[in-house]
Amino acid sequence: MFCTPLVNFEEKLNSSLGEFAGWKMPMSYSSYQEEHLAVRTESAFFDLSHMGRLKIKGKIEEIENLVAKKVADAPQYSMIGPTAFLSDKAGFIDDVMTYKVSESEFLVVTNAINREKVISWIRKNSSLDVEDLTFGLVMIAIQGKKVWDYIEKPNLQPLQFKLNVNFEGQEVFLLSRSGWTGEDGVEFWAKPEAAEVILNKLVSKGVKPAGLMARDSLRQEMGFVLYGEDIGEEVNPVEARYWVYSLEKEFIGKQALVEILKSGVDKLRIGIKLPKNLRVIPRNGTRIKIMGEEIGKVTSSSYSPFLSRVIGMGYVNSRHFLLGGNADVEIRGRDYNIKLSDFPLLK
Amino acid sequence: MTEFKVGKYVLRNDLLYTETDEWIKIEEDNATVGITDYAQKKLRDIVGVDLPKKGQKVSSGEVVAVVESVKAAADIYTPLSGEIVEVNENLISSPELINKDPYGNGWLFKIKLSNKEETKKLLTPDMYTERVKGD
């Protein structure tokens, strides 16, 4: 199992470690609920060193052929994403963020679980040079409603990034205005020693350390998918309502995707909300029913301390895509009422 | 001092325990049941609880409650047989009490015992110490 290089630093902050996608990472510190609320009301940071980070170099035509969204026209130092690597059948190999460094060099962030698979897939489908940066650098996200009260605001528009810059007094390899929580903020990649200096400074200013559990509940409020739970190779972007492609160009999986768009889909991703203060969690695989008839299954669920209710997402038959309507989830043999909702669930 | 620590876990020497991490406080013919500090720390943030019904007859080893954490739903076994005479209603709206005060305000239910002999099968504080030691 891999382990974040910041483990000793984080243990001093009272981290509770757990396993995620083959990595030992902080799951929470004090309480995921407090960490979640810190992001929605103040500011918090996450260690994301488990995420795969790759540098790919070569002909842009080859890169374009791999990525479902158009990258050629994107400005330099901008992020294209989320986008995806798709299979021939238009299933998700992975959903990724791509960073355009130049016409021939891109950085890619993969899901931790898919890093090796993506490297093999790129090598199989192109002659691009792939360098794995995952283990030399840590990745940190600082996110929050009041994030700029705590850190220097970089001269970056959302989804722009810079390389080899000074951030909070330290050299970082990459600084981007991005995140995955629905709040503003930055992500940076840096050597562990530099990251630790920055994080110590953040802690002394009152930025809360947050673990992957808070990240999970935050992303569910926004309706963001998690690979392995909500999407996978058996799911296509149309079913997931995850608009990660550009049809004006060619890429692996496009032909299948076009066929899917023409024929329509049998299932669609939908949000769910349970009544306020009903404290049961429909886990992955829980049946969604209407009048006793199964219409779909839950893929993710969590208690949202911000909304004071259990939320989540799943897939229902496309004929039952009844936004705003009611259904039931079956938990331990009992049915509980849910509302079928659109994303973000936060509104 | 009834409270003592084994590593990072708090135990009490006035309670009995189970292999499935419930604690039991015996008071005459009644027993109060909760989950241990070790169990709540393993489950992490507790966000919900399904409690038994008052008046429900239960047999030792039976699943009578469920504690929902963000991580998973954990079955709670009644360590003793009898009738549920009280449940901790406060947990319905504030399940985090189990995290904050597992041996106090985070108790789960009380049973009027039908077979007091069963208490002999429970773990003593020393035996439970062995279970959590080294974890």
Per-chain mean pLDDT for chain B? 95
Annotated binding site of A: 187
Residue B88 lies inside a defined structural domain of this protein: yes
DSSP codes of every residue in chain B: --EEEETTEEEETT-EE-TTSEEEEEETTEEEEEE-HHHHHHH-SEEEEEPPPTT-EE-TT-EEEEEEESS-EEEEE-SS-EEEEEE-THHHH-TTHHHH-TTTTT--EEEEES-GGGGGGSBPHHHHHHHHTT-
Residue A61 three-state SS: helix
Confidence of residue A347 (pLDDT cuts 50, 70, 90): confident
Residue B74 lies inside a defined structural domain of this protein: yes
Confidence of residue A141 (pLDDT cuts 50, 70, 90): very high
| A2-49+136-222 fold | Gyrase A; domain 2 (3.30.1360)
Residue A195 CB-density burial (10 A; 0-12 exposed, 13-18 middle, 19+ buried): buried
Q: Which chain A residues are closer than 8 Å to B44 by Cβ?
A: 16, 27-28, 32, 213
Residue range of the domain that includes B75? 3-115
The nearest alpha carbon in chain B to A277 belongs to B93
Does A53-132 carry CATH code 3.30.465.10? no
CATH number, domain with residue B64: 2.40.50.100
CB-based contact (8 Å) between A217 and chain B? Answer: yes
Per-chain mean pLDDT for chain A? 97
B105-119 as b/e, with b when 16 or more CB fall inside 10 Å? ebbbbbbebeeeebe
Residue B121 lies inside a defined structural domain of this protein: no
Residue B106 lies inside a defined structural domain of this protein: yes
The nearest alpha carbon in chain B to A213 belongs to B70
Distance CA A112, CA A136 (A): 15
The nearest alpha carbon in chain B to A32 belongs to B45
Query: What are the tokens at B33?
Result: 């049941």
The one-letter amino acid at B123:
L
The domain total for chain B is: 1
CB-based contact (8 Å) between A213 and chain B? Answer: yes
Residue B71 lies inside a defined structural domain of this protein: yes
Residue B17 lies inside a defined structural domain of this protein: yes
Question: Superfamily for A237-341?
Answer: Aminomethyltransferase beta-barrel domains (2.40.30.110)
* Partner-chain contact B44 A216, CB within 8 Å: no
pLDDT in tens, A154-166: 999 999 999 999 9
pLDDT at site B93: 86
Confidence of residue B1 (pLDDT cuts 50, 70, 90): low
What is the mean pLDDT of the segment spanning B4-11?
A: 94
pLDDT at site A278: 85
Which of B45, B66, B94 would best serve as a mutation to test chain A binding (most A beta carbons within 10 A)?
Answer: B45
Confidence of residue A106 (pLDDT cuts 50, 70, 90): very high
Residue B134 lies inside a defined structural domain of this protein: no
Residue B75 lies inside a defined structural domain of this protein: yes
What is the mean pLDDT of the segment spanning A246-262?
A: 98
* Partner-chain contact A32 B70, CB within 8 Å: yes
The domain segmentation of chain A, as residue ranges, is 2-49+136-222, 53-132, 237-341
CB-based contact (8 Å) between B94 and chain A? Answer: no
pLDDT at site A340: 98
